[in-house]
Amino acid sequence: MSLYLFPKTIVAILDKQRRKFFWQGGGTKKKYHLVAWKTICLSKTRGGLGIKDITKMNISLLCKWWWKLETENLLKIREVYLRGRVIQTADGKRILFWKDAWLQNKPICVLHPVLFDWRVPFDRWLPPSMFEEWIDIINTTFSFNFKQQPDEISWKWGGKKIFTTKSVYDHLNQQPKVRSEHIWKAKIPYKGNPSCVFCDQIESVDHLFFQCPVARCIWGMVGSCLQASNVPGNYSQYKQWIEKWLPDGKVVHHFGFAAISWALWKCRNKAVFDNKVIRHPAEILIHACVFLKYWTCLHKEERQVEVLEGVKTLLACTH
């Protein structure tokens, strides 16, 4: 009763048995039901006999789970659950607009992280590029072929399309460890053209992430936040630079760099492969802030507020 929501038919069968037992006891002789069952189920103070109403008891017990979810912080695990859940969209009533992969093969919050971060409230001003992104999503949503039947939920991990604890455990267990050194040894794929998409100079790792005018502008904004008098020109300089200007923020030294380089890399790819060019380097820094915010849960709980404050300060530098 505390695990499943009983269907009405089951409740009716159980109540029929209970009524029979109440009026006839163990005997087989049929007896009249002198008072309505509903009245019997009322509390004694309200004129009933205090016999439990199955549906109401069932709901009360299930509510206990919601209470546990909120008070014991189990909602954090929802993200893992949502990653394994697959939704076959039909009438769209069960989908989570931003977090389900219902419109494309990935959730909208993953495809449009900046917009996702800005979504509430949506009455604030959106930069033109983001406004276009939002209009694109609306257009795709309106052209989606919804059907007059309920959405179907299935399970991605484990092969049988149904949820199993084992499938989640196996999935969590197989996450590869990412070592950042590989990133630095990796060659940047040129699309037939070795020049930088932002400035036409030869593209290299140091150029893209540090020496390109776009990168310098971003580091300049970060530097102004930290009251730094210079900007780093490569990764080893970055390590000394951040150590000097943010000595108390060791936890974010790696995260900060990862967020900025990841945002730059994604933006570079969008320009190379989709011909979508940014209007201002600040957009990249906004993206980086979104990543930092998104990754906050990776820090120890006592550090999270500090990191979020840092992200706020950094965001303020983009205006």
- Contact residues: Zn ion, CB under 5 A: 196, 198-199, 212
Smallest distance from Zn ion to CB 216, Å: 9
Give me the residue label for tokens 């006592």.
Answer: 302
To Zn ion, the closest distance from the beta carbon of 177 in angstroms equals 32
Half-sphere CA count of 242, side-chain side, radius 13 A: 17
Neighbouring CB atoms inside 10 A of 199's CB total 13
What is the smallest separation between the CB atom of 283 and Zn ion, expressed in angstroms? 16
| Distance of alpha carbon 5 from alpha carbon 55, whole angstroms | 8
Contact yes or no for 163/126 (Cβ under 8 A) = no
Cβ nearer to Zn ion, comparing 215 with 315: 215
Residues with Cβ < 8 Å from 303, sequence gap 6 or more? 251
Whose Cβ is closer to Zn ion: residue 198's or residue 238's? 198
Residue with the two structure tokens 């002198």: 34
Please say which residue, 211 or 318, places its beta carbon nearer to Zn ion. 211
Give 221's DSSP letter. H
Q: Provide CB contacts within 8 A for 196, sequence distance 6+.
A: 202, 203, 207, 208, 212
CB of 264 to Zn ion, least distance (A): 10
CB closer to Zn ion, 40 vs 208: 208
State the angle between helix axes of 282-294 and 250-274 in degrees (0 to 180), rounded to the nearest 10: 130
Residue 207 CB, nearest approach to Zn ion (Å): 6
12 versus 199: smaller Cβ distance to Zn ion: 199
